[in-house]
Structure 1
Amino acid sequence: MSTESVDGDAETPVTVTESAASEALSLLEGEGLDTDVAGLRLFVQQGGCAGLSYGMRFDDEPESDDAVTEHHGLRIFVDPASRRYIGGSVLDYESGLQAAGFHVENPNVVSECGCGESFRT
């Protein structure tokens, strides 16, 4: 996997597979965003039956305290509060006959809800 830190941070909070980066870049471009500056924000929020859930959105640019990494041409933004929950995670894109979407493999998860939408660390 091609991973380089944009902000000089030695710790990479999230790694992104080539398929996830390709899909996200396609969506970013479809929104008319500049992929040299804009990126995908991955964050953790309160919610779900297990207590925490993942969130993703496109941002025009990172916040000043974000960890910013680049993977296969995709910029990823992670805020400091979310880093402690998702450090070491892998963002992947899965497509199949029944469903397609982004999936976070998080080594910090100790339990997930039955539907897989929320987790606890």
Structure 2
Amino acid sequence: MSTETADGGNGGTVTVTQAAASEALDLIESEGLDTDQAGLRLFVQQGGCAGLSYGMRFDHEPELDDAVIEQHGLRVFVDPASRNYVGGSTLQYEGGLQGAGFHVENPNVVSECGCGESFRT
């Protein structure tokens, strides 16, 4: 298991904004999970009209082969297959009139579907 950065296909890392970390930590604590061990899993899966989509969930602890990114007190777990797609990305939290949620700003994306739910690299 590596720590601090998750290298992607472009050699970049995953960055977590302060707002995303704060929101995720609040949610993890509200689930009754230990923030010293638990974290947010960021993964890429097949699906959507553009071919790939992001997934996120809370996990109690990382898997042995996960990269573990620790920023602003949040632990983010990224599996080896997903690292190839998310290197150089920034995990953000956006709020506003149109709704609030987590967003991955990924420089590896060459196209997205019209609704922004899936992508292609």
TM-score, length-scaled by structure 2: 0.91
Distance (Å, rounded) in 2 between the aligned partners of 1:10 and 1:88: 9
| Structure (1 or 2) with the greater strand fraction | 1
For the 8 Å contact 1:13–1:67, the answer to whether it is kept is no
Aligned positions of 1:1-121 closer than 5 A? 7=3, 11=7, 13-121=13-121
CA RMSD of aligned residues (A): 1.5
For the 8 Å contact 2:48–2:117, the answer to whether it is kept is yes
TM-score, length-scaled by structure 1: 0.91
Distance (Å, rounded) in 1 between the aligned partners of 2:82 and 2:58: 16
Structure 2, gaps ≥5 residues long: none
Distance (Å, rounded) in 2 between the aligned partners of 1:74 and 1:9: 13
Structure 1, gaps ≥5 residues long: 1-5
Identity of aligned residues (%): 79
For the 8 Å contact 2:5–2:13, the answer to whether it is kept is no
Distance (Å, rounded) in 2 between the aligned partners of 1:8 and 1:101: 24
Distance (Å, rounded) in 1 between the aligned partners of 2:69 and 2:61: 12
Residue identity in the other structure for 1:50: A
String of CA shifts for 1:2-42, please: whole Å, max 9, x gaps.
xxxx6366846311000000000000000000000000000
String of CA shifts for 1:82-103, please: whole Å, max 9, x gaps.
0001111000000001211000
Distance (Å, rounded) in 1 between the aligned partners of 2:30 and 2:17: 20
For the 8 Å contact 2:4–2:71, the answer to whether it is kept is no
After TM superposition, the structure 1 stretch with the greater mean CA deviation from structure 2, 60-69 or 8-17, is 8-17
